[in-house]
Structure 1
Amino acid sequence: MRTMLSATTHAPPLRDAALRRLGAALKAIGYEFTTVTPGTHERVNRRPGNAEGHTLSDVLGWSRPFRPGALPEDVVRLLVDAHALRRDGDLWYSLIRVSSFDGELFVHSAFPAAGPDAVFFGPDTYRTVDAALAHLAAAGAAPGRVADVGTGSGAVAVAVARRVPQAEVIAVDINPTALRYARINAALAGTVHVDVRRSDLLDDVPGDFDLIVSNPPFMIDPEGRAYRDGGGPHGHDLPLAVLDTAARRLTPGGSLVLFSGTGITGGRDPLRAAAAHRLDRTDLRWTYREVDPDVYSENLDQPAYAHADRIALSVLTATRPPDDR
């Protein structure tokens, strides 16, 4: 008999409070877990002895099923209160993962993050935060108004808000579960000035921004999963939509930091070409650099990437000239 205790997208406040208490308890005992790519995650979990979880990181990091008695009772109780456990026969599964990064803990979806409302967290999250913080460090003047577009777990917004406490930081997403987890994660970090809102890009948020950061979906996904599918034949529709939004909504002197990826064929980068076509019609000054030449290689076996020699990651930075009047 299968029993389901599932996280819902419109969770009552008590469930969110249970997740916040869980996060606080994990921070208090020094819990840490670095989330890897899905390919690495699957390989590690296939190793002998990894079929079931026996520690907190086994269950809340590696998403391994566990038996009664494997975890501390208070942790299990909080997972139950949060409706974040699924039972299948004698085994229990956590519906969430908890990852550590930048001195904070972040709640996100269990592996495999395949549901339509999945909230992904992993190496690209780390890379996006690093790119945003590097830009902040080089910019000199602190931004007054910041948008994290497609916030997911809220990691970018939290990291920026910690460095620029006086800034208005707005984190937007269209995924109700992402908005829920981003609010919980901001509360765990004590970053109460992160304003989490539902918005399609920045359509539902008025005003302009000094800094826009985004790591939108960029993969070619025939299944059309919202957290993964970038749209269009190359997976570029969403990254390019973010670029168009920034061209309209950046203040004078404001910048966009866009983390994305693309399939490279014969040395040609179609994302860079498409971005250049759009940017050449704006006043934005921009740079584009490849930050990892070969990632997610398991996707090259799929028909959607049969044309590609490799999948590369890139960071595009675009800045509006300051108004010197």
Structure 2
Amino acid sequence: MNTLTSIDPTGNDAPATDEGHDLALLRLGQHLKAQNYRFVTVTPLTHQRVNQREENRKARSLRDVFGWSRPFEGDLLAQEQLEALLDSGILRAHAGLWASEVRWSSLEDLLLVHSGFPTVAHDSVFFGPDSYRFAQAIEEHLQTSLHTIRTAVDVGCGSGVGAILIARARRDAQVLAVDINPTALRFTAVNAALAATENVSAYHSDILAGTTGEFDLIVANPPYMQDTQQRAYRHGGEQLGSQLSVRILAQSIERLTPGGSLVLYTGAPSVEGVDLFLEQAKPLVDTPDFAWSYREMDPDVFGEELETPTYRDAERIAAVVLTVTRVG
């Protein structure tokens, strides 16, 4: 069952030192839902371009504050609400105005909290176009798979979108949301509570190291860029960011029940026509023990990265879905 207490990085329940902050987040989410708030989160580059327009320098609505992360004047919120959000640390002072530390994004009828723009802190929790594609991959699998799901896990859960989608579709399943980032675990708990998915539990785990047993479904949307700052929400390791995805694949396929599946949404960099992720993944799954499929959801994402020295040899980065099912 999800709770709004803090999650200790060791994996143990910690004193609820951030409980007030997280309860305030939950109440804010409830308020935004009651106001029919909706916001589709775009890429960071699009976000930046839209916010740089002169007329967008200051917020005029709740979408501007909690979607576009624009600074605002105090009269945009009721005084009592403004003071409560300031006291909880959700709002901060910004150049004589106020600004939100978090964003709220819509996914179908869900509302999900994640980090404000720009996501520069090492413990940032990212949500964006990848999250929508990840959700699509999960929903397609749930609609087509006949395998009973009793246990599931969302690896590197971030805002918890994968875990919440599974938990809503399979109310009898026990769904874990695991991450190495305590902020992600707290945001996941808030989002799960707002979605009324009581069968989601958030735990600290480096991939699956902090879990036991086998799973009927494992999903993951890991960071897949090679980030020079090695920020946890963005850095996918060596091999142009594909290293972490390969680690998740290797650990996950060993923990699948017979008939269980891994749905891995990630980025695949290509160098001279060679898909670096698939080149590493194929030897792990192309065996009699597994059935697998692989497809590109988008052939060209984060093209601006090709201008950086790290990606000087890359031709493109594709958004891909690898689905692996244990035979038996």
Whole-Å separation in 2 of the counterparts to 1:17 and 1:259: 31
Change in CA separation of 1:50 and 1:24 when aligned onto 2, cut-off 3 Å: same
CA distance in 2, matches of 1:135, 1:260: 16
1:158 to 159, 164, 172: 164
Deviations 1:64-83 (A, max 9, x none): 11122133435423422421
The equivalent residue for 1:84 is 90
- Structure 1 unaligned regions, length at least 5: 1-8
Q: Which residue of 2 aligns with 1:206?
A: 212
Could you tell me how far apart the structure 2 residues matched to 1:98 and 1:254 are?
A: 33
AA at the equivalent of 1:15: H
Counterpart secondary structure, 1:100? strand
User: Could you tell me how far apart the structure 1 residues matched to 2:21 and 2:273 are?
Assistant: 49
**2:313 maps to 1:307:** yes
- Residue identity matched to 1:35: T
Say yes or no: does 1:321 pair with 2:313.
Answer: no
Equivalent-residue separation in structure 1 for 2:170 and 2:286 (angstroms): 31
> 2:65 matched to which residue of 1?
59
Tell me the TM-score normalised to structure 1 length. 0.93
| Structure 2 residue aligned with 1:283 | 289
- For structure 2, the residue ranges without an aligned partner over 5 or more in a row are 1-8, 10-15
User: Are positions 1:98 and 2:95 aligned together?
Assistant: no
Among 294, 301, 308, the alignment partner of 1:295 is: 301
The yes-or-no answer on 1:137 pairing with 2:139 is no
The letter for the 2-side match of 1:301 is E
Moved more, 51-60 or 136-145: 136-145
Alpha-carbon spacing, 1:307–1:74, altered in 2? closer, same or farther (3 Å): farther
271, 282, 293: which is aligned to 1:265? 271
- For residues 195 and 83 of structure 2, what CA distance do their matches in structure 1 show? 22
Q: Give the aligned residue type for 1:17.
A: L
Count matched residues: 314
Amino acid at match of 1:127: R
- Conserved in 2, the CA contact under 8 Å of 1:174 and 1:199? yes
CA distance in 2 between counterparts of 1:183 and 1:78 reads: 20
Contact 2:147/2:260 (CA < 8 Å) preserved in 1?
A: no
Task: Report the alpha carbon displacement of residue 312 of structure 1 after superposing the two structures with TM.
Answer: 0.7
Using the TM superposition, name which of 76-85 and 191-200 deviates more: 76-85
2:269 partner SS: strand
Q: 1:45 to 1:89 in 2, by over 3 A?
A: closer
TM-score between the two structures when normalised by the length of structure 2: 0.92
Deviates most, 41-50 or 276-285: 276-285
**2:248 counterpart residue number:** 242
Q: 1:182 aligns with which of 171, 185, 188?
A: 188
C-alpha displacement at 1:59, in angstroms? Answer: 0.9
C-alpha displacement at 1:278, in angstroms? 2.2
Share of identical aligned residues, percent?
Answer: 47
Q: Go from structure 1 to structure 2 and tell me whether the alpha carbon gap of 1:202 and 1:48 turns closer, same or farther (over 3 Å shift).
A: same
In the alignment, the residues of structure 1 paired with residue 288 and residue 97 of structure 2 have an alpha-carbon distance, to the nearest angstrom, of: 56
Which residue matches 1:6?
A: none
User: Could you say if the C-alpha distance between residues 58 and 252 of structure 1 is closer, same or farther in structure 2, counting changes exceeding 3 Å?
Assistant: same
- Inter-partner Cα distance in structure 1 for 2:114 and 2:323: 27
Evaluate the alpha carbon distance shift between residue 244 and residue 214 of structure 1 in structure 2; reply closer, same or farther with a 3 A threshold. same
1:20 maps to 2:39 = no
CA distance in 1, matches of 2:193, 2:127: 18
- Partners in 2 of 1:89 and 1:222 — Cα distance? 30
Deviates more, 1:18-27 or 1:265-274: 265-274
User: Matched residue of 1:108: which SS?
Assistant: strand
> Structure 1 residues 11, 129: closer, same or farther in 2, change over 3 A?
farther
User: CA offsets per residue over residues 134-187 of structure 1, 9 Å max, x none?
Assistant: 011100233111000000000111111111101111110010000000000000
Q: Which residue is 1:34 aligned to?
A: 40
- Could you tell me which amino acid in structure 1 is paired with residue 301 of structure 2? V
The letter for the 1-side match of 2:254 is R
